[in-house]
A and B are shown apart, each in its own frame.
Chain A
Amino acid sequence: MVKLTFRSNEWEVKPGMTVESALKKLDIDPEAVLPTIKDTLITTDYILKEGDVVKLVAVVSGGVNEM
Protein backbone atom coordinates (compact mmCIF):
# COMPACT_ATOMS: atom_id res chain seq x y z
CA MET A 1 0.00 0.00 0.00
CA VAL A 2 0.93 3.68 -0.32
CA LYS A 3 0.65 6.04 2.59
CA LEU A 4 -0.34 9.71 2.20
CA THR A 5 -0.06 12.19 5.05
CA PHE A 6 -1.37 15.72 5.32
CA ARG A 7 -0.97 17.64 8.58
CA SER A 8 -2.31 15.20 11.20
CA ASN A 9 -4.29 13.09 8.69
CA GLU A 10 -3.15 9.83 7.17
CA TRP A 11 -4.61 7.69 4.36
CA GLU A 12 -3.68 4.55 2.47
CA VAL A 13 -4.25 4.04 -1.25
CA LYS A 14 -3.35 1.29 -3.69
CA PRO A 15 -0.14 1.58 -5.72
CA GLY A 16 -0.35 2.05 -9.47
CA MET A 17 -2.40 5.22 -9.51
CA THR A 18 -1.02 8.71 -10.05
CA VAL A 19 -0.74 11.24 -7.23
CA GLU A 20 -3.39 13.27 -9.02
CA SER A 21 -5.83 10.33 -8.94
CA ALA A 22 -5.06 9.70 -5.27
CA LEU A 23 -5.77 13.32 -4.41
CA LYS A 24 -9.01 13.21 -6.35
CA LYS A 25 -10.02 10.01 -4.57
CA LEU A 26 -9.31 11.62 -1.20
CA ASP A 27 -11.10 14.83 -2.22
CA ILE A 28 -7.99 16.96 -1.73
CA ASP A 29 -7.57 20.05 -3.92
CA PRO A 30 -4.29 19.58 -5.88
CA GLU A 31 -3.89 23.37 -5.95
CA ALA A 32 -3.72 23.45 -2.16
CA VAL A 33 -0.91 20.92 -1.59
CA LEU A 34 2.57 20.04 -2.80
CA PRO A 35 3.33 16.30 -2.84
CA THR A 36 6.76 15.17 -1.59
CA ILE A 37 8.52 11.86 -1.11
CA LYS A 38 11.48 11.87 1.28
CA ASP A 39 11.42 15.68 1.31
CA THR A 40 11.71 15.85 -2.49
CA LEU A 41 8.98 17.47 -4.56
CA ILE A 42 7.20 15.25 -7.07
CA THR A 43 4.70 16.17 -9.77
CA THR A 44 1.13 14.92 -9.69
CA ASP A 45 1.63 12.60 -12.68
CA TYR A 46 4.00 10.46 -10.55
CA ILE A 47 2.77 6.85 -10.40
CA LEU A 48 2.67 5.64 -6.81
CA LYS A 49 4.70 2.56 -5.95
CA GLU A 50 4.26 0.01 -3.18
CA GLY A 51 5.76 1.37 0.04
CA ASP A 52 5.81 5.04 -1.02
CA VAL A 53 5.10 7.52 1.74
CA VAL A 54 3.82 10.75 0.28
CA LYS A 55 3.81 13.79 2.50
CA LEU A 56 1.48 16.53 1.31
CA VAL A 57 2.71 19.99 2.20
CA ALA A 58 0.03 22.65 2.57
CA VAL A 59 0.50 25.54 0.19
CA VAL A 60 -1.22 28.01 2.50
CA SER A 61 0.48 28.50 5.81
CA GLY A 62 0.89 31.22 8.36
CA GLY A 63 2.36 34.60 7.72
CA VAL A 64 2.08 38.12 8.83
CA ASN A 65 1.73 39.99 5.60
CA GLU A 66 -0.16 43.19 5.91
CA MET A 67 0.20 46.43 4.13
Chain B
Amino acid sequence: MSDITIRVQAVRRDHLQRKLLVFGVLAGLLIVAAFFSSSLCPYDPYEQNLAIAKAAPSAEHWLGTDRYGRDMFSRVIAGSYTSIFSTLLLVGFISVFGSLVGILCAWSGRWIDTMVMRVSDMFLAFPGLVFALAVAAVLGGGVQNAIVALAAISWPKYARLARSQTLAQQERPYMQAAKMAGCGTLRMIRRHLVPNIAGPILVTAMLDIGTMMMELAGLSFLGLGAKPPIPEWGSMMSDTRNLLATQPWVTLAPGFAIFFSVMIFNLLGDTVRDWLDPKNRR
Protein backbone atom coordinates (compact mmCIF):
# COMPACT_ATOMS: atom_id res chain seq x y z
CA MET B 1 0.00 0.00 0.00
CA SER B 2 2.58 2.53 1.06
CA ASP B 3 4.84 1.46 -1.79
CA ILE B 4 2.09 2.28 -4.22
CA THR B 5 1.46 5.63 -2.55
CA ILE B 6 5.11 6.56 -2.79
CA ARG B 7 5.22 5.45 -6.40
CA VAL B 8 2.13 7.50 -7.27
CA GLN B 9 3.61 10.52 -5.55
CA ALA B 10 6.90 10.09 -7.41
CA VAL B 11 5.10 9.92 -10.76
CA ARG B 12 3.00 12.93 -9.90
CA ARG B 13 6.06 14.85 -8.83
CA ASP B 14 7.93 14.03 -12.02
CA HIS B 15 4.91 15.15 -13.98
CA LEU B 16 4.75 18.38 -11.97
CA GLN B 17 8.45 18.96 -12.45
CA ARG B 18 8.05 18.72 -16.21
CA LYS B 19 5.08 21.08 -16.14
CA LEU B 20 6.98 23.53 -13.96
CA LEU B 21 9.87 23.49 -16.43
CA VAL B 22 7.64 24.02 -19.48
CA PHE B 23 5.56 26.85 -18.02
CA GLY B 24 8.61 28.39 -16.37
CA VAL B 25 10.40 28.51 -19.71
CA LEU B 26 7.30 29.92 -21.43
CA ALA B 27 6.92 32.66 -18.84
CA GLY B 28 10.67 33.32 -19.01
CA LEU B 29 10.50 33.64 -22.79
CA LEU B 30 7.60 36.06 -22.48
CA ILE B 31 9.54 38.23 -20.05
CA VAL B 32 12.71 38.15 -22.17
CA ALA B 33 10.70 38.95 -25.30
CA ALA B 34 9.03 41.84 -23.50
CA PHE B 35 12.42 43.13 -22.38
CA PHE B 36 13.81 43.12 -25.90
CA SER B 37 10.48 44.12 -27.45
CA SER B 38 11.82 47.32 -28.98
CA SER B 39 14.32 45.39 -31.10
CA LEU B 40 11.81 42.62 -31.92
CA CYS B 41 9.32 44.94 -33.61
CA PRO B 42 9.46 44.70 -37.40
CA TYR B 43 8.33 48.36 -37.69
CA ASP B 44 8.48 51.42 -35.49
CA PRO B 45 5.34 51.13 -33.32
CA TYR B 46 4.94 54.92 -33.26
CA GLU B 47 5.46 55.61 -36.95
CA GLN B 48 2.30 56.84 -38.64
CA ASN B 49 1.67 56.27 -42.33
CA LEU B 50 -1.80 57.38 -43.30
CA ALA B 51 -1.39 55.95 -46.82
CA ILE B 52 -1.73 52.43 -45.41
CA ALA B 53 -4.18 53.23 -42.58
CA LYS B 54 -6.67 50.53 -41.63
CA ALA B 55 -4.97 47.93 -43.82
CA ALA B 56 -6.03 44.30 -43.55
CA PRO B 57 -3.50 41.70 -42.36
CA SER B 58 -0.90 40.99 -45.05
CA ALA B 59 2.59 39.53 -45.42
CA GLU B 60 4.16 42.90 -44.48
CA HIS B 61 1.73 43.78 -41.70
CA TRP B 62 0.70 40.54 -40.00
CA LEU B 63 -2.03 42.14 -37.95
CA GLY B 64 -2.80 44.96 -40.34
CA THR B 65 -2.55 48.63 -39.36
CA ASP B 66 -4.60 50.96 -37.17
CA ARG B 67 -6.29 54.17 -38.24
CA TYR B 68 -2.95 56.05 -38.25
CA GLY B 69 -1.32 53.34 -40.36
CA ARG B 70 0.81 52.10 -37.48
CA ASP B 71 1.80 48.42 -37.72
CA MET B 72 -0.38 46.56 -35.21
CA PHE B 73 1.96 43.59 -34.87
CA SER B 74 4.76 45.93 -33.78
CA ARG B 75 2.43 47.75 -31.43
CA VAL B 76 1.27 44.53 -29.78
CA ILE B 77 4.91 43.44 -29.28
CA ALA B 78 5.91 46.86 -27.98
CA GLY B 79 2.88 46.82 -25.68
CA SER B 80 4.22 43.75 -23.91
CA TYR B 81 6.95 45.85 -22.31
CA THR B 82 4.54 48.20 -20.52
CA SER B 83 1.97 45.53 -19.71
CA ILE B 84 4.31 42.83 -18.41
CA PHE B 85 6.88 44.90 -16.55
CA SER B 86 4.38 47.16 -14.85
CA THR B 87 2.51 44.05 -13.68
CA LEU B 88 5.67 42.38 -12.38
CA LEU B 89 6.72 45.59 -10.64
CA LEU B 90 3.29 45.90 -9.04
CA VAL B 91 3.08 42.30 -7.84
CA GLY B 92 6.69 42.37 -6.62
CA PHE B 93 6.05 45.52 -4.66
CA ILE B 94 2.75 44.57 -3.03
CA SER B 95 3.89 41.08 -2.09
CA VAL B 96 7.11 42.30 -0.45
CA PHE B 97 5.61 45.39 1.16
CA GLY B 98 2.43 43.64 2.30
CA SER B 99 4.38 40.71 3.75
CA LEU B 100 6.76 43.00 5.63
CA VAL B 101 3.80 44.85 7.12
CA GLY B 102 2.18 41.53 8.07
CA ILE B 103 5.35 40.21 9.72
CA LEU B 104 5.80 43.48 11.58
CA CYS B 105 2.22 43.29 12.86
CA ALA B 106 2.49 39.71 14.05
CA TRP B 107 5.91 40.26 15.57
CA SER B 108 5.25 43.45 17.47
CA GLY B 109 1.61 42.73 18.34
CA ARG B 110 -0.10 45.23 20.63
CA TRP B 111 -1.22 48.56 19.22
CA ILE B 112 0.75 48.42 15.97
CA ASP B 113 -1.01 45.19 15.09
CA THR B 114 -4.45 46.50 15.99
CA MET B 115 -3.94 49.76 14.16
CA VAL B 116 -2.54 48.34 10.93
CA MET B 117 -5.18 45.61 10.80
CA ARG B 118 -7.97 48.17 11.24
CA VAL B 119 -6.46 50.20 8.39
CA SER B 120 -6.36 47.10 6.21
CA ASP B 121 -10.01 46.40 7.13
CA MET B 122 -10.85 49.84 5.79
CA PHE B 123 -9.20 49.07 2.46
CA LEU B 124 -10.82 45.65 2.28
CA ALA B 125 -14.25 47.23 2.71
CA PHE B 126 -14.05 48.60 -0.83
CA PRO B 127 -15.15 46.19 -3.52
CA GLY B 128 -12.67 45.15 -6.22
CA LEU B 129 -11.61 47.80 -8.65
CA VAL B 130 -13.89 50.52 -7.29
CA PHE B 131 -11.31 52.11 -5.00
CA ALA B 132 -8.51 51.71 -7.54
CA LEU B 133 -10.66 53.54 -10.08
CA ALA B 134 -11.08 56.45 -7.74
CA VAL B 135 -7.41 56.57 -6.72
CA ALA B 136 -6.31 56.48 -10.35
CA ALA B 137 -8.86 59.18 -11.15
CA VAL B 138 -7.56 61.43 -8.40
CA LEU B 139 -3.93 60.84 -9.35
CA GLY B 140 -4.85 61.50 -12.97
CA GLY B 141 -3.87 58.51 -15.11
CA GLY B 142 -0.49 57.35 -16.30
CA VAL B 143 1.10 53.93 -15.82
CA GLN B 144 2.80 54.84 -12.53
CA ASN B 145 -0.43 56.13 -11.05
CA ALA B 146 -2.34 53.04 -12.14
CA ILE B 147 0.31 50.94 -10.37
CA VAL B 148 -0.01 53.08 -7.25
CA ALA B 149 -3.81 52.77 -7.35
CA LEU B 150 -3.73 48.98 -7.61
CA ALA B 151 -0.98 48.72 -4.99
CA ALA B 152 -3.15 50.75 -2.61
CA ILE B 153 -5.98 48.23 -2.80
CA SER B 154 -3.98 45.00 -2.95
CA TRP B 155 -1.35 45.20 -0.19
CA PRO B 156 -3.78 44.28 2.67
CA LYS B 157 -4.23 40.79 1.23
CA TYR B 158 -0.51 40.06 1.64
CA ALA B 159 -0.34 41.74 5.03
CA ARG B 160 -3.14 39.48 6.32
CA LEU B 161 -1.59 36.36 4.81
CA ALA B 162 1.91 37.08 6.17
CA ARG B 163 0.48 38.00 9.55
CA SER B 164 -1.50 34.78 9.96
CA GLN B 165 1.42 32.69 8.69
CA THR B 166 3.81 34.40 11.09
CA LEU B 167 1.46 33.91 14.03
CA ALA B 168 1.17 30.22 13.17
CA GLN B 169 4.94 29.78 12.87
CA GLN B 170 5.66 31.60 16.11
CA GLU B 171 3.95 28.79 17.99
CA ARG B 172 6.20 26.15 16.46
CA PRO B 173 8.94 24.56 18.60
CA TYR B 174 11.71 25.43 16.15
CA MET B 175 11.05 29.11 16.65
CA GLN B 176 11.13 28.72 20.40
CA ALA B 177 14.36 26.73 20.05
CA ALA B 178 15.95 29.42 17.88
CA LYS B 179 14.94 32.03 20.43
CA MET B 180 16.39 30.01 23.29
CA ALA B 181 19.60 29.54 21.32
CA GLY B 182 19.98 33.32 21.51
CA CYS B 183 18.98 34.19 17.98
CA GLY B 184 18.39 37.92 17.41
CA THR B 185 15.09 39.22 16.10
CA LEU B 186 16.27 40.16 12.63
CA ARG B 187 18.22 36.95 12.20
CA MET B 188 15.25 34.96 13.37
CA ILE B 189 12.96 36.63 10.86
CA ARG B 190 15.44 36.30 8.03
CA ARG B 191 16.82 32.80 8.66
CA HIS B 192 13.89 31.03 10.25
CA LEU B 193 10.62 32.80 9.65
CA VAL B 194 10.85 34.01 6.05
CA PRO B 195 11.87 30.65 4.51
CA ASN B 196 8.94 29.02 6.27
CA ILE B 197 6.24 31.50 5.27
CA ALA B 198 7.57 32.27 1.78
CA GLY B 199 5.69 29.40 0.08
CA PRO B 200 2.08 30.55 0.46
CA ILE B 201 3.08 34.16 -0.23
CA LEU B 202 4.91 33.14 -3.39
CA VAL B 203 1.91 31.14 -4.60
CA THR B 204 -0.45 34.05 -3.95
CA ALA B 205 1.89 36.41 -5.77
CA MET B 206 2.27 34.08 -8.76
CA LEU B 207 -1.49 33.68 -9.07
CA ASP B 208 -1.90 37.45 -8.69
CA ILE B 209 0.20 38.24 -11.76
CA GLY B 210 -2.62 37.33 -14.15
CA THR B 211 -5.27 39.18 -12.15
CA MET B 212 -3.15 42.30 -11.81
CA MET B 213 -2.27 42.26 -15.50
CA MET B 214 -5.99 42.25 -16.32
CA GLU B 215 -6.78 44.98 -13.79
CA LEU B 216 -3.96 47.22 -15.03
CA ALA B 217 -5.18 46.69 -18.58
CA GLY B 218 -8.71 47.48 -17.36
CA LEU B 219 -7.57 50.80 -15.88
CA SER B 220 -5.73 51.61 -19.09
CA PHE B 221 -8.83 50.67 -21.04
CA LEU B 222 -10.73 53.34 -19.11
CA GLY B 223 -7.97 55.84 -19.85
CA LEU B 224 -6.56 55.67 -16.31
CA GLY B 225 -3.36 53.81 -17.17
CA ALA B 226 -0.90 54.14 -20.02
CA LYS B 227 -1.79 57.06 -22.25
CA PRO B 228 -1.76 56.82 -26.05
CA PRO B 229 0.45 56.81 -28.10
CA ILE B 230 2.41 54.61 -25.65
CA PRO B 231 1.57 51.08 -26.75
CA GLU B 232 -0.19 49.23 -23.93
CA TRP B 233 -2.64 46.41 -24.50
CA GLY B 234 -5.59 47.80 -22.55
CA SER B 235 -5.37 51.33 -23.92
CA MET B 236 -4.80 49.99 -27.46
CA MET B 237 -8.09 48.12 -27.23
CA SER B 238 -10.08 51.13 -26.11
CA ASP B 239 -8.23 53.34 -28.61
CA THR B 240 -9.20 51.13 -31.55
CA ARG B 241 -12.60 50.09 -30.33
CA ASN B 242 -14.58 51.86 -33.02
CA LEU B 243 -12.72 49.76 -35.59
CA LEU B 244 -14.34 46.63 -34.15
CA ALA B 245 -17.06 46.47 -36.80
CA THR B 246 -14.72 46.98 -39.76
CA GLN B 247 -11.23 45.80 -38.65
CA PRO B 248 -11.89 43.47 -35.71
CA TRP B 249 -8.31 42.10 -35.78
CA VAL B 250 -6.94 45.51 -34.80
CA THR B 251 -9.11 45.70 -31.68
CA LEU B 252 -8.94 42.04 -30.72
CA ALA B 253 -5.19 41.44 -31.21
CA PRO B 254 -4.11 43.20 -27.98
CA GLY B 255 -6.91 41.32 -26.20
CA PHE B 256 -5.49 38.00 -27.33
CA ALA B 257 -2.04 39.18 -26.21
CA ILE B 258 -3.41 39.84 -22.69
CA PHE B 259 -5.26 36.53 -22.76
CA PHE B 260 -2.18 34.46 -23.69
CA SER B 261 0.11 36.23 -21.22
CA VAL B 262 -2.38 35.86 -18.38
CA MET B 263 -2.85 32.22 -19.30
CA ILE B 264 0.90 31.48 -19.19
CA PHE B 265 1.31 33.18 -15.81
CA ASN B 266 -1.79 31.43 -14.45
CA LEU B 267 -0.52 28.04 -15.61
CA LEU B 268 2.83 28.72 -13.96
CA GLY B 269 1.10 29.90 -10.79
CA ASP B 270 -1.12 26.82 -10.61
CA THR B 271 1.88 24.56 -11.12
CA VAL B 272 3.94 26.32 -8.46
CA ARG B 273 1.00 25.94 -6.07
CA ASP B 274 0.76 22.20 -6.72
CA TRP B 275 4.54 21.92 -6.47
CA LEU B 276 4.63 23.54 -3.04
CA ASP B 277 1.58 21.61 -1.83
CA PRO B 278 2.74 19.29 0.98
CA LYS B 279 0.50 16.53 -0.45
CA ASN B 280 2.86 16.29 -3.40
CA ARG B 281 6.07 16.22 -1.35
CA ARG B 282 8.14 13.12 -1.46
A binds B: no
